[in-house]
Amino acid sequence: MDLTPSKLAYVPFVSVDDMMKIVNHIGAAQMIAEIADYIEADFKRWELFDKTPRVAAHSEEGVIELMPTSDGETYGFKYVNGHPANMARGFQTVTAFGVLARVDNGYPVLLSEMTILTALRTAATSVVAARHLAPKDAKVMAMIGNGAQCEFQALAFHKVLGIEEVRLYDIDPAATAKAARNLENTGLRVVPCKTGEEAISGAQIITTCTADKQYATILTDNMVGSGVHINAIGGDCPGKTELHRDILLRSDIFVEYPPQTRIEGEIQALEADHPVTELWEVITGKAQGRRDARQITLFDSVGFATEDFSALRYVRDQLDRVGAYVQLDMLADPDDPRDLFGMVQRAKGA
Protein backbone atom coordinates (compact mmCIF):
# COMPACT_ATOMS: atom_id res chain seq x y z
CA MET A 1 0.00 0.00 0.00
CA ASP A 2 1.24 3.49 -0.87
CA LEU A 3 2.01 5.30 2.41
CA THR A 4 2.34 8.81 0.94
CA PRO A 5 0.05 10.98 3.11
CA SER A 6 -1.58 12.62 0.07
CA LYS A 7 -2.38 9.17 -1.41
CA LEU A 8 -3.93 8.04 1.87
CA ALA A 9 -6.27 11.03 1.73
CA TYR A 10 -8.25 9.25 -0.97
CA VAL A 11 -10.41 6.40 0.23
CA PRO A 12 -11.62 3.69 -2.15
CA PHE A 13 -15.42 3.65 -2.10
CA VAL A 14 -17.39 0.63 -3.31
CA SER A 15 -20.93 1.74 -4.14
CA VAL A 16 -23.94 -0.55 -4.53
CA ASP A 17 -23.41 -0.38 -8.28
CA ASP A 18 -19.73 -1.30 -7.87
CA MET A 19 -20.61 -4.17 -5.53
CA MET A 20 -23.01 -5.56 -8.12
CA LYS A 21 -20.21 -5.36 -10.71
CA ILE A 22 -17.89 -7.23 -8.35
CA VAL A 23 -20.51 -9.92 -7.61
CA ASN A 24 -21.34 -10.37 -11.28
CA HIS A 25 -17.67 -10.44 -12.28
CA ILE A 26 -16.73 -13.10 -9.72
CA GLY A 27 -20.11 -14.86 -9.55
CA ALA A 28 -22.28 -14.78 -6.41
CA ALA A 29 -21.70 -18.40 -5.38
CA GLN A 30 -17.95 -18.19 -6.00
CA MET A 31 -17.73 -14.92 -4.09
CA ILE A 32 -19.59 -16.40 -1.10
CA ALA A 33 -17.20 -19.37 -1.13
CA GLU A 34 -14.19 -17.04 -1.19
CA ILE A 35 -15.63 -14.86 1.61
CA ALA A 36 -16.26 -18.05 3.61
CA ASP A 37 -12.53 -18.77 3.48
CA TYR A 38 -11.73 -15.25 4.77
CA ILE A 39 -14.30 -15.66 7.57
CA GLU A 40 -12.91 -19.06 8.52
CA ALA A 41 -9.34 -17.69 8.48
CA ASP A 42 -10.37 -14.88 10.84
CA PHE A 43 -12.23 -17.29 13.18
CA LYS A 44 -8.91 -19.15 13.39
CA ARG A 45 -7.28 -16.02 14.84
CA TRP A 46 -10.28 -15.25 17.04
CA GLU A 47 -8.31 -14.51 20.20
CA LEU A 48 -6.50 -11.65 18.46
CA PHE A 49 -9.63 -9.61 17.80
CA ASP A 50 -11.13 -6.82 19.88
CA LYS A 51 -14.63 -8.10 20.60
CA THR A 52 -17.72 -6.42 21.92
CA PRO A 53 -21.46 -7.05 21.53
CA ARG A 54 -22.75 -4.65 18.92
CA VAL A 55 -23.96 -1.25 20.01
CA ALA A 56 -27.69 -1.19 19.34
CA ALA A 57 -30.23 1.65 19.31
CA HIS A 58 -33.67 0.07 19.52
CA SER A 59 -36.99 1.63 18.58
CA GLU A 60 -40.55 0.39 18.15
CA GLU A 61 -39.89 -0.16 14.46
CA GLY A 62 -36.48 -1.79 14.56
CA VAL A 63 -32.86 -1.34 15.44
CA ILE A 64 -29.78 0.56 14.23
CA GLU A 65 -26.47 -1.03 15.15
CA LEU A 66 -22.73 -0.41 15.03
CA MET A 67 -20.45 -3.45 14.85
CA PRO A 68 -16.78 -2.63 15.52
CA THR A 69 -13.71 -4.86 15.75
CA SER A 70 -9.95 -4.77 15.17
CA ASP A 71 -7.18 -7.30 14.64
CA GLY A 72 -4.56 -4.81 15.88
CA GLU A 73 -3.49 -3.78 12.37
CA THR A 74 -6.84 -2.96 10.81
CA TYR A 75 -9.99 -1.60 12.42
CA GLY A 76 -13.44 -2.11 10.93
CA PHE A 77 -17.05 -1.38 11.65
CA LYS A 78 -20.42 -1.87 10.03
CA TYR A 79 -23.49 0.31 10.34
CA VAL A 80 -26.59 -1.84 9.92
CA ASN A 81 -30.30 -1.59 10.58
CA GLY A 82 -33.03 -4.18 11.02
CA HIS A 83 -36.57 -2.97 10.41
CA PRO A 84 -38.99 -5.89 9.85
CA ALA A 85 -41.88 -3.57 8.90
CA ASN A 86 -39.81 -1.92 6.16
CA MET A 87 -40.63 -4.54 3.54
CA ALA A 88 -44.36 -3.71 3.63
CA ARG A 89 -43.42 -0.03 3.07
CA GLY A 90 -41.20 -0.85 0.10
CA PHE A 91 -37.88 -0.55 1.96
CA GLN A 92 -35.20 -3.15 2.67
CA THR A 93 -35.38 -4.79 6.12
CA VAL A 94 -31.58 -4.66 6.37
CA THR A 95 -29.27 -1.99 4.90
CA ALA A 96 -25.63 -1.46 5.73
CA PHE A 97 -22.31 0.16 4.97
CA GLY A 98 -18.88 -0.42 6.43
CA VAL A 99 -15.39 0.98 6.89
CA LEU A 100 -11.88 -0.41 7.25
CA ALA A 101 -9.14 1.77 8.71
CA ARG A 102 -5.44 1.52 9.51
CA VAL A 103 -4.78 1.16 13.22
CA ASP A 104 -1.34 2.84 13.01
CA ASN A 105 -2.57 6.25 11.81
CA GLY A 106 -6.36 5.88 12.01
CA TYR A 107 -6.92 6.67 8.33
CA PRO A 108 -9.81 4.88 6.62
CA VAL A 109 -8.70 2.63 3.74
CA LEU A 110 -12.08 1.42 2.49
CA LEU A 111 -15.68 2.58 2.56
CA SER A 112 -18.15 0.11 1.14
CA GLU A 113 -21.82 -0.54 0.75
CA MET A 114 -22.69 -3.55 2.88
CA THR A 115 -26.34 -4.35 2.15
CA ILE A 116 -25.36 -6.79 -0.58
CA LEU A 117 -22.13 -7.65 1.21
CA THR A 118 -24.06 -8.54 4.40
CA ALA A 119 -26.18 -11.03 2.46
CA LEU A 120 -22.99 -12.56 1.01
CA ARG A 121 -21.20 -12.69 4.37
CA THR A 122 -24.23 -14.08 6.20
CA ALA A 123 -24.50 -16.87 3.65
CA ALA A 124 -20.73 -17.40 3.90
CA THR A 125 -20.89 -17.61 7.70
CA SER A 126 -23.78 -20.08 7.48
CA VAL A 127 -21.73 -22.43 5.31
CA VAL A 128 -18.62 -22.03 7.47
CA ALA A 129 -20.72 -23.26 10.42
CA ALA A 130 -22.47 -25.96 8.38
CA ARG A 131 -19.14 -27.33 7.08
CA HIS A 132 -18.44 -28.33 10.69
CA LEU A 133 -21.94 -29.10 11.94
CA ALA A 134 -24.25 -30.37 9.17
CA PRO A 135 -24.61 -34.08 8.38
CA LYS A 136 -21.93 -34.97 5.84
CA ASP A 137 -24.38 -36.47 3.34
CA ALA A 138 -26.84 -33.54 3.42
CA LYS A 139 -28.45 -32.99 0.01
CA VAL A 140 -31.73 -31.23 0.88
CA MET A 141 -32.22 -27.90 2.64
CA ALA A 142 -35.46 -26.28 3.77
CA MET A 143 -35.38 -22.50 3.45
CA ILE A 144 -38.06 -20.84 5.58
CA GLY A 145 -38.29 -17.13 4.88
CA ASN A 146 -37.73 -16.28 1.25
CA GLY A 147 -36.82 -12.60 1.56
CA ALA A 148 -33.65 -10.72 0.67
CA GLN A 149 -31.19 -13.22 2.21
CA CYS A 150 -32.81 -16.34 0.78
CA GLU A 151 -31.14 -16.88 -2.60
CA PHE A 152 -27.68 -16.08 -1.18
CA GLN A 153 -28.17 -18.79 1.43
CA ALA A 154 -29.43 -21.32 -1.12
CA LEU A 155 -26.54 -20.67 -3.50
CA ALA A 156 -23.99 -20.87 -0.69
CA PHE A 157 -25.22 -24.27 0.45
CA HIS A 158 -25.30 -25.53 -3.14
CA LYS A 159 -21.77 -24.35 -3.89
CA VAL A 160 -20.00 -25.11 -0.62
CA LEU A 161 -22.00 -27.98 0.94
CA GLY A 162 -23.23 -29.70 -2.23
CA ILE A 163 -26.92 -29.21 -1.44
CA GLU A 164 -28.94 -30.36 -4.46
CA GLU A 165 -32.51 -29.46 -3.47
CA VAL A 166 -33.86 -26.38 -1.70
CA ARG A 167 -37.42 -26.45 -0.37
CA LEU A 168 -38.85 -22.93 -0.07
CA TYR A 169 -41.54 -21.66 2.28
CA ASP A 170 -42.66 -18.15 3.18
CA ILE A 171 -45.94 -16.86 4.61
CA ASP A 172 -45.99 -14.63 1.55
CA PRO A 173 -46.26 -16.80 -1.59
CA ALA A 174 -44.95 -13.89 -3.69
CA ALA A 175 -41.62 -14.12 -1.81
CA THR A 176 -41.39 -17.84 -2.56
CA ALA A 177 -42.23 -17.24 -6.23
CA LYS A 178 -39.52 -14.54 -6.42
CA ALA A 179 -36.90 -16.82 -4.86
CA ALA A 180 -37.88 -19.77 -7.09
CA ARG A 181 -37.56 -17.53 -10.16
CA ASN A 182 -34.16 -16.21 -9.10
CA LEU A 183 -32.86 -19.71 -8.41
CA GLU A 184 -33.78 -21.06 -11.84
CA ASN A 185 -30.79 -22.34 -13.80
CA THR A 186 -28.48 -22.40 -10.79
CA GLY A 187 -28.24 -26.20 -10.71
CA LEU A 188 -30.44 -26.38 -7.61
CA ARG A 189 -33.70 -28.35 -7.64
CA VAL A 190 -36.16 -25.79 -6.27
CA VAL A 191 -39.36 -26.97 -4.57
CA PRO A 192 -41.84 -24.25 -3.53
CA CYS A 193 -43.90 -25.44 -0.54
CA LYS A 194 -47.21 -24.36 0.98
CA THR A 195 -46.34 -24.96 4.63
CA GLY A 196 -43.28 -25.05 6.85
CA GLU A 197 -43.94 -28.76 7.51
CA GLU A 198 -43.89 -29.51 3.79
CA ALA A 199 -40.65 -27.54 3.38
CA ILE A 200 -38.76 -29.43 6.07
CA SER A 201 -39.88 -32.87 4.96
CA GLY A 202 -36.78 -34.82 3.94
CA ALA A 203 -34.43 -31.89 4.69
CA GLN A 204 -31.17 -32.56 6.54
CA ILE A 205 -30.55 -28.82 6.90
CA ILE A 206 -33.20 -26.30 7.96
CA THR A 207 -32.46 -22.61 7.47
CA THR A 208 -34.84 -20.16 9.14
CA CYS A 209 -34.51 -16.62 7.84
CA THR A 210 -37.70 -14.77 8.65
CA ALA A 211 -38.16 -11.21 9.85
CA ASP A 212 -40.72 -10.46 12.52
CA LYS A 213 -40.08 -8.41 15.64
CA GLN A 214 -41.51 -10.90 18.13
CA TYR A 215 -40.84 -14.24 19.79
CA ALA A 216 -42.06 -16.13 16.71
CA THR A 217 -42.40 -19.89 16.37
CA ILE A 218 -41.27 -20.67 12.86
CA LEU A 219 -40.37 -24.21 13.93
CA THR A 220 -42.19 -26.17 16.63
CA ASP A 221 -40.57 -29.04 18.44
CA ASN A 222 -42.49 -31.79 16.63
CA MET A 223 -41.27 -30.46 13.25
CA VAL A 224 -37.61 -31.18 14.01
CA GLY A 225 -36.42 -34.76 13.70
CA SER A 226 -33.12 -36.12 14.97
CA GLY A 227 -29.92 -35.62 13.02
CA VAL A 228 -30.77 -32.30 11.35
CA HIS A 229 -28.68 -29.15 11.31
CA ILE A 230 -30.62 -25.92 11.95
CA ASN A 231 -29.15 -22.73 10.56
CA ALA A 232 -31.20 -20.11 12.45
CA ILE A 233 -30.48 -16.67 11.04
CA GLY A 234 -33.61 -14.55 11.51
CA GLY A 235 -33.63 -14.29 15.34
CA ASP A 236 -30.95 -11.65 15.80
CA CYS A 237 -32.35 -9.02 18.11
CA PRO A 238 -33.75 -8.78 21.67
CA GLY A 239 -37.39 -9.93 21.54
CA LYS A 240 -36.96 -11.46 18.05
CA THR A 241 -36.55 -15.25 17.83
CA GLU A 242 -37.77 -18.04 15.54
CA LEU A 243 -37.59 -21.39 17.34
CA HIS A 244 -39.69 -23.01 20.05
CA ARG A 245 -37.68 -23.30 23.27
CA ASP A 246 -38.08 -27.11 23.34
CA ILE A 247 -36.01 -27.36 20.13
CA LEU A 248 -33.18 -25.52 21.86
CA LEU A 249 -33.32 -27.96 24.76
CA ARG A 250 -32.84 -30.91 22.37
CA SER A 251 -30.05 -29.27 20.37
CA ASP A 252 -26.33 -28.75 20.72
CA ILE A 253 -26.04 -25.01 20.26
CA PHE A 254 -23.18 -23.24 18.48
CA VAL A 255 -22.77 -19.47 18.58
CA GLU A 256 -20.47 -16.74 17.30
CA TYR A 257 -19.79 -14.60 20.38
CA PRO A 258 -21.76 -15.63 23.49
CA PRO A 259 -22.06 -12.17 25.12
CA GLN A 260 -23.83 -10.92 21.98
CA THR A 261 -25.83 -14.08 21.23
CA ARG A 262 -27.18 -14.23 24.80
CA ILE A 263 -28.71 -10.77 24.14
CA GLU A 264 -29.85 -11.31 20.56
CA GLY A 265 -30.03 -14.98 19.61
CA GLU A 266 -32.44 -17.88 20.05
CA ILE A 267 -30.77 -18.57 23.41
CA GLN A 268 -32.53 -15.51 24.85
CA ALA A 269 -35.17 -18.11 25.67
CA LEU A 270 -32.76 -20.12 27.86
CA GLU A 271 -31.09 -19.61 31.20
CA ALA A 272 -28.02 -17.36 31.04
CA ASP A 273 -25.68 -20.27 31.84
CA HIS A 274 -27.11 -22.77 29.34
CA PRO A 275 -24.07 -24.39 27.70
CA VAL A 276 -23.17 -23.28 24.20
CA THR A 277 -20.11 -23.95 22.05
CA GLU A 278 -18.28 -21.11 20.31
CA LEU A 279 -17.86 -21.58 16.57
CA TRP A 280 -14.18 -20.54 16.61
CA GLU A 281 -13.44 -23.40 19.01
CA VAL A 282 -14.95 -25.90 16.57
CA ILE A 283 -13.06 -24.36 13.65
CA THR A 284 -9.74 -24.51 15.50
CA GLY A 285 -10.37 -28.06 16.76
CA LYS A 286 -10.64 -27.01 20.43
CA ALA A 287 -14.23 -28.25 20.55
CA GLN A 288 -16.14 -30.92 18.70
CA GLY A 289 -18.65 -30.04 15.97
CA ARG A 290 -21.09 -32.76 14.89
CA ARG A 291 -20.50 -35.90 16.95
CA ASP A 292 -23.06 -38.34 15.65
CA ALA A 293 -25.84 -38.89 13.16
CA ARG A 294 -28.72 -38.40 15.62
CA GLN A 295 -27.54 -35.15 17.16
CA ILE A 296 -29.45 -31.94 16.37
CA THR A 297 -26.96 -29.15 15.78
CA LEU A 298 -28.17 -25.55 15.94
CA PHE A 299 -26.16 -22.62 14.63
CA ASP A 300 -27.75 -19.70 16.51
CA SER A 301 -26.53 -17.04 14.08
CA VAL A 302 -26.85 -13.35 14.90
CA GLY A 303 -23.99 -11.98 12.76
CA PHE A 304 -20.78 -10.86 14.42
CA ALA A 305 -18.40 -7.96 13.69
CA THR A 306 -15.46 -10.16 12.70
CA GLU A 307 -17.52 -11.60 9.82
CA ASP A 308 -18.08 -8.11 8.43
CA PHE A 309 -14.41 -7.35 8.96
CA SER A 310 -13.52 -10.50 6.97
CA ALA A 311 -15.93 -9.52 4.20
CA LEU A 312 -14.51 -5.98 4.01
CA ARG A 313 -10.98 -7.40 3.99
CA TYR A 314 -12.04 -9.60 1.09
CA VAL A 315 -13.52 -6.65 -0.84
CA ARG A 316 -10.37 -4.59 -0.27
CA ASP A 317 -8.32 -7.46 -1.73
CA GLN A 318 -10.57 -7.58 -4.83
CA LEU A 319 -10.35 -3.87 -5.66
CA ASP A 320 -7.69 -4.32 -8.30
CA ARG A 321 -9.16 -7.66 -9.50
CA VAL A 322 -12.35 -5.95 -10.64
CA GLY A 323 -11.54 -2.23 -10.60
CA ALA A 324 -15.05 -1.30 -9.53
CA TYR A 325 -14.60 1.57 -7.07
CA VAL A 326 -14.02 5.32 -6.97
CA GLN A 327 -11.53 7.30 -4.86
CA LEU A 328 -13.32 9.51 -2.35
CA ASP A 329 -11.84 12.80 -1.25
CA MET A 330 -12.79 12.02 2.32
CA LEU A 331 -9.93 13.30 4.43
CA ALA A 332 -8.57 16.82 4.69
CA ASP A 333 -4.82 16.76 3.96
CA PRO A 334 -3.21 20.20 4.27
CA ASP A 335 0.46 20.28 3.22
CA ASP A 336 1.23 21.36 6.78
CA PRO A 337 -0.95 19.06 8.93
CA ARG A 338 -1.50 21.91 11.43
CA ASP A 339 -2.63 24.41 8.81
CA LEU A 340 -6.19 23.18 8.36
CA PHE A 341 -7.58 26.71 8.53
CA GLY A 342 -5.07 27.97 5.95
CA MET A 343 -6.10 25.21 3.58
CA VAL A 344 -9.74 26.33 3.82
CA GLN A 345 -8.73 29.95 3.14
CA ARG A 346 -6.59 29.04 0.13
CA ALA A 347 -9.53 27.06 -1.33
CA LYS A 348 -11.61 30.28 -1.28
CA GLY A 349 -8.98 32.01 -3.40
CA ALA A 350 -8.55 29.12 -5.84
Residues that bind ligand NAD (CB under 6 A): 82, 87, 93-94, 118, 122, 144-149, 170-172, 175, 209-212, 216, 218, 233-234, 236, 301-303
Our CB check for ligand NAD shows the closer of 101 and 129 to be 129
Q: How far apart are CA 178 and CA 2, in angstroms?
A: 45
**Three-state secondary structure call for residue 232:** strand
Our CB check for ligand NAD shows the closer of 99 and 311 to be 311
Is 236 in the active site?
A: yes
Q: How far apart are CA 307 and CA 98, in angstroms?
A: 12
Count of residues making up the chain: 350
Q: Report, in Å, the least distance between residue 337 CB and ligand NAD.
A: 40
Q: Report, in Å, the least distance between residue 256 CB and ligand NAD.
A: 8
138, 169 Cβ separation under 8 angstroms: no
The H or E element containing residue 154 is helix 150-161
Q: Report, in Å, the least distance between residue 210 CB and ligand NAD.
A: 4
Our CB check for ligand NAD shows the closer of 18 and 236 to be 236
Catalytically annotated residue among 236, 300, 335, 339: 236
Our CB check for ligand NAD shows the closer of 199 and 324 to be 199
| Residue number of the CB atom closest to ligand NAD | 147
List C-alpha distances in Å: 54 to 227, 235, 257, 263: 32, 15, 10, 10
Q: Name the residue type at position 342.
A: G
Sign of CA dihedral 51, 58, 310, 327: negative
In 145-271, the DSSP E strands lie at: 165-169, 189-192, 205-208, 215-219, 229-232, 241-243, 251-255
Q: How far apart are CA 70 and CA 61, in angstroms?
A: 30
Our CB check for ligand NAD shows the closer of 238 and 337 to be 238
Active site residues: 236
